[in-house]
Structure 1
Amino acid sequence: METSTSSIIYTTKSKRQTTPSDVRVKLDPAFNRKKMERLEKDIAETWKRRLAELPSLFNGSKFRLHSIEEKGETLTLNMGTTCYKDFQGTNLSKDLLILQSQGLSDHDDSQAYMSDALGVGALVLTADDHMVLLYRSKNCGEDTELWDRPGGHSEPKNLVGPIPAEEIDLSELKEDAVVEELFNSITEEVISEVNIPADSLEQPGILGIHRSHLSGGKPNVEFLMKCKLKASEVESLYKQGCQAEAYESEKIFLLPLEKALNAHSCDLDLWNKMAAGAKGLLCLYNMYRHRYLL
């Protein structure tokens, strides 16, 4: 399976996937995006326009993935901070290609001016081997009216409180706490989007990381998360509609895993209605399956 919508930058080196004990983080302001006076004005104008279009948008702080390092089974994430306003104004900018060209020219890095807010997503696999897909509503800030996997972002506010990204002192953040937040965040997203109880979910493991070409190279950490419930049970819980982020999706699709993995060749209508994150996740799982399960 290949996808032109994403580039794979990391795949797990273990059948047990990449666990918290395998992950390190380096936090440094040098890993934040570069700024330009003109760009900052454009970001502010874009955010004002987006708020007028979608008042429910919220400018929370996010972690920014600058790069990764690999040594054996150890994965190191080089991270700074950013915010959702900057993501909307850079990665989703109509001037994206110009910004990336400017980054290459000024810093030898196409992503230098990009927010690159680090996303998280999960292949939630039910007890009877179905994959959870959600149809994103117009209330979302991206990937609307597409089938996507449960996901969102790792949140610095869970470690430092709701302060602006530029006020976060990275030197005060503990590495273990950031790693824990990364893994906790995907569990919280699954609970709040799908309404699956925490005790029905196994611990997530990282399958890999990809960058979405449809979101300006936005990085996404993709997890495998097994669920103790059957597809019909998950569907019933979702339809109760009492989950915290029910507004983010309109409907659920419990897709047999084999059909999901072959959608790119056997169900193009579905494949073409999938978000880049879901496609990148399926690509990573297919690589994992061929390497360790077949």
Structure 2
Amino acid sequence: MDPEISILYCSPFPEGLPQRRVQAQLSPHYQRRRLPPPLEDQILLEWEERKRKQPWVFNGAKFRLHSVKADLNQREKINRENTLGEIGDHIRQEADMDEQGGLTLYLALTSYRDFLGTNWSGNAKALQERGGKEHGDPEAYLAQPLGVGAALQCSDGRFVLLRRSNRVGEAPGQLDIPGGHPEPKAVAPNIPEDELSLDVLKPELVITELFSSILAEIRDEVNLPLWSLSEPLLLGIARNHTSAGRPSAEFYVRCSFSSEEVRERYLQGGPEASESTDIMFIDREEMLSLETSELWKELCPSAKGCVKLYLLVREQQS
């Protein structure tokens, strides 16, 4: 597997997991552990310095993924045995036998500021080593904000890729999939963001936001109406090791427009058009061989994780 990514969870169903098979448990026990004062204070100082240099950046609440628990059926157990060597040693799943299958996400709150000060900092590796040594968990001191991404397939079978703007903070100029983050403030819109707490978040609404957020990202980045998009199906959760293993939930979504119609709508510009500079499409055959193509080198880690999960779930299991 590409060293930039690993797979934390892979759907046991070849179509992916629908929303009804995913649940959340929220607890302060799943928060990032605070560092000793000098190191924790450094995160705040670096954030203030960033704001001084880039006054347009703003802090925001995110969901922190602590771990996952999969209810494994026979099909997933076979797949897990076949892919465990690729996935790596830090997979954190507990096997439960349930014919229906499903997934539980253990979540807390974190922030964009803490992501920049931990996962995205130059000290990320040292923080992982410290977390492993002091708490038996390399992610104990990391923000681990949960992202979302989608393998978006047009009605003619082609998949959407976006060329990231050179002005974005991560992976500028690389190819990506539509994606972003589920937003805690969307779950409790009447609460000021700096007052958000786990007490005001309902687990079922958190899962609704997780699944609806990827549709909103597609709408805003590709300029597609929500009515043209299918129900998202969760392919799995991938880790981005260029940002210390940050997790992202990857979905499969179909669009009722052809690739040419999607291109036309993209060129009209959506609310987040500034995040990308171009759109391109690959057909299913190209998707199947993408890992061994030259194009793979142009993909950012989030796109690689989504493609890998698509191939593991919808192709190898079908």
Structure 1 partner of 2:309: 284
Deviates more, 1:37-46 or 1:82-91: 37-46
- Is the CA contact 2:188–2:200 (under 8 Å) kept in the aligned structure 1? no
Deviation string 1:94-146 (CA, Å, 9 cap, x unpaired) is 11111111111111110011000000000000111111111111332322221
> For the residues of structure 1 that align with 2:119 and 2:192, how far apart are their CA atoms?
22
CA gap 1:292/1:263 in 2 versus in 1, 3 angstroms: closer
What's the CA shift for 1:204? 0.5
Partner residue of 2:170 out of 142, 153, 175: 142
Give the Cα separation in 2 of the matches to 1:47 and 1:136: 24
Give the corresponding residue for 2:10.
Answer: 11
Residues 148-188 of structure 1 show CA distances to partners (whole Å, capped at 9, x for unaligned) of: 100000000001236346x4231332121111000000000
Q: How far does the alpha carbon of each residue in 1:208-233 deviate from its partner, in whole angstroms, 9 at most, with x for none? A: 00111111110000000001111111
- Residue number in structure 2 paired with 1:50: 50
Look up the match of 2:296. Answer: 271
Which residue in 2 is equivalent to 1:216?
Answer: 244
Deviates more, 1:42-51 or 1:182-191: 42-51
TM-score, scaled to structure 1: 0.93
The residue aligned with 1:67 is 67
The aligned counterpart of 1:40 is 40
Per the alignment, residue 78 of structure 2 pairs with: none
Q: Which amino acid aligns with 2:33?
A: K
Residue 253 of structure 2 aligns with an amino acid whose one-letter code is: M
The one-letter amino acid of 2:236's match is G
* Amino acid paired to 2:210: L
Mean Cα deviation higher: 52-61 or 214-223: 52-61
User: Is 1:247 equivalent to 2:274 in the alignment?
Assistant: yes
TM-score, normalisation: structure 2: 0.86
Question: By how many angstroms is 1:265 displaced?
Answer: 1.3
- Structure 2 portions without partners, runs of 5+: 72-97
Contact 2:119–2:142 (Cα < 8 Å) also in 1: yes
Check the 8 A contact 1:205/1:224 in 2, yes or no: yes
Instruction: Single out whichever of 47-56 and 30-39 deviates more from structure 2.
Output: 47-56
Match of 2:179 in 1: 151
Distance 1:47 1:257 in 2: 42
1:26 paired residue number: 25
Equivalence for 2:213: 185
2-structure distance, mates of 1:160, 1:9? 28
Q: Which residue of structure 2 lines up, in the alignment, with residue 127 of structure 1?
A: 155
- Contact 2:109 2:197 (8 Å CA) reproduced: no
Equivalent residue, structure 2, for 1:163: 192
Partner of 2:75: none
Q: What is the aligned partner in structure 1 of residue 94 from structure 2?
A: none
Does 2:288 correspond to 1:261? yes
Give the RMSD, CA atoms, in angstroms: 1.5
Task: Give the aligned residue type for 1:273.
Answer: E
Closer, same or farther: CA 134–49 of 1 in aligned 2, 3 Å:
farther
Aligned partners of 2:8 and 2:32: how far apart in 1?
A: 19
Instruction: Please name the residue that 2:89 is paired with.
Output: none
Q: How many residues align?
A: 288
Q: Which amino acid aligns with 1:272?
A: K
